[in-house]
Structure 1
């Protein structure tokens, strides 16, 4: 790092625009041309030497538009595709209700309030609006890391309250009907595997043949929401499904490049089978719910699902209370 006069750092390029640094604080020179950036910097240096630092810093704040352009250029080459897409969408939503010329240090909660209002007007789901809020808050942490602002302008903005969605699930009969309704063999295999393992989308999508052990009748889950590497027993139907594959190299379900593709295909299959309100994750609920209705303990269900907190499994408690129903039937009042 080359430091110029005292706390003044010479121009450097980040993404599309040129910047300089004043007392370790990055300020935008508002140009993508090196020659113009050098001229602007020389003018700033004269002002700096004249002792007008505060004026300089107030005049050189980065705008929302400049930050957005630089952030997206940086994020596209460093973030995972799914994360980048979500961040880009959230940023687009913000820019649709905020002025690109607004200085970062002048931002407050108003743009996010406008984002929420527009989302509600457009009848977006509460979960979708909250997802945009979370990504906007997260990506502006980078503005702090880069020294563009002292604090995240959206830190503390609260998400919308939403009613928890009760787990939806298919009966055993509906599971059979769903599987038989899917003509695409690869998709049918994925849905069948979901119903007989209860695995999360990513856990099943990234399952590799090297993690399948037919001899011990189990498989290993490496990519998990809880980040635990864990082995699970194989249901006979899941074992038979895996045995039906000819190609046993790399990922088990290698046809699709991104899990979002599978999500859309399973959603359409559920719609075609007469379950438009359901989603891919509900196949995991179906696995657990059918076990609970069969009288399996919540502890065993939680272990099969990979839950680290037993309270998470308690949403299936009302489905495993047949013993309570049987007890009630024995109650007789002679009145």
Structure 2
């Protein structure tokens, strides 16, 4: 079979995939990161369908899909990537079913191998104090200070911070409205130190060639700051403060959640502040807290300490 013939046979499948991606973009209003992930996953599916000469959706049975996943796993694709890939295929078939294109979902009963869940890396309170201790009056440093304080004060995601506008705040910067995953809006409090840092930044913001009047945080060119710029500035600030590890924005969010949970013990409140739709996502921070308690126990409890010399 020629490539042209294969391409012609696959056209209806690719057309359906494109329609699903348009649905995610225009009707579900999915973020560009979500869309990019779906595009990557469904490109893998499309390429594999071509290699198998599959030209209609009913040909994609549960058995064939399971064999494909096993092949990908055998070639080194990690469990987390397999889970996301399977979720993308499952979502595609749910869409196709609603459109009356298919009757069954071959991915419905399949599951990827469970990945071992790594505990998030956090900074302790002394490290956070060192990171946030900056006395420079340079406008860009004051901007960075405000970003760092806001990350740690309110547990924002990188995309949430970058998307902030001047009118995102309420009641004298005491609360901020952020647009989280799935375009879900939530309102979180802003701590005193963060409010002070934001006010300092706003006092020098006009010193930059302001091109984006709405954006809270600007690049040195006056445009809305990019994700990469924020990541680089956080890493730079941490390096200048002698942090022992590579620091990134999500580590500050992890630190916010861990420290708040350790102090309050209120899992539901932390879930709300982080914007997690499922509390199981928040529960990983209870493992961090338990790990800390276990370390204290091992070092302090008479029965846990190993005696020196003879028993």
- Relative to the length of structure 2, the TM-score reads 0.64
Match of 1:233 in 2: 189
**Structure 2 residue 170 is the aligned partner of structure 1 residue 198:** no
Match of 2:45 in 1: 94
Asked whether the 8 Å contact 1:189–1:241 carries over to 2, the reply is: yes
Write out aligned runs for 1:203-222 (5 A): 203-215=160-172, 217-222=173-178
**Structure 2 residue 23 is the aligned partner of structure 1 residue 67:** no
Match of 2:266 in 1: 298
Shift in Å, 1:91: 1.2
Count of aligned pairs: 263
What's the secondary structure of 1:220's corresponding residue?
strand
Match of 1:49 in 2: none
Asked whether the 8 Å contact 1:170–1:286 carries over to 2, the reply is: yes
Cα distance between partner residues in 2 of 1:142 and 1:223? 25
1:127-169 alpha-carbon deviations (Å, 9 max, x no partner) = 2221121112212333333433222332222132122222321
Cα distance between partner residues in 2 of 1:266 and 1:305? 23
Asked whether the 8 Å contact 1:167–1:282 carries over to 2, the reply is: yes
| Structure with more strand by fraction | 1
Match of 1:21 in 2: none
Q: 1 or 2 for the larger relative contact order (CA 8 Å, sep ≥6)?
A: 2
Identify unmatched segments of 5+ residues in structure 1.
1-29, 32-62
CA 1:226/1:135 → structure 2, altered by over 3 Å: closer, same or farther?
A: closer
What's the secondary structure of 2:151's corresponding residue?
helix
**Structure 2 residue 250 is the aligned partner of structure 1 residue 281:** yes
1:147-198 alpha-carbon deviations (Å, 9 max, x no partner) = 33222332222132122222321123433555689x9745564344212221
What's the secondary structure of 1:86's corresponding residue?
helix
What's the secondary structure of 2:13's corresponding residue?
helix
Write out aligned runs for 1:5-84 (5 A): 64-72=10-18, 75-76=21-22, 79=25, 80=30, 81-84=32-35
Choose 1 or 2 for highest CA Rg: 1
Cα distance between partner residues in 2 of 1:288 and 1:241? 21
Aligned CA-pair RMSD: 4.4
1:269-303 alpha-carbon deviations (Å, 9 max, x no partner) = 69965535x7543321201323455x444366556
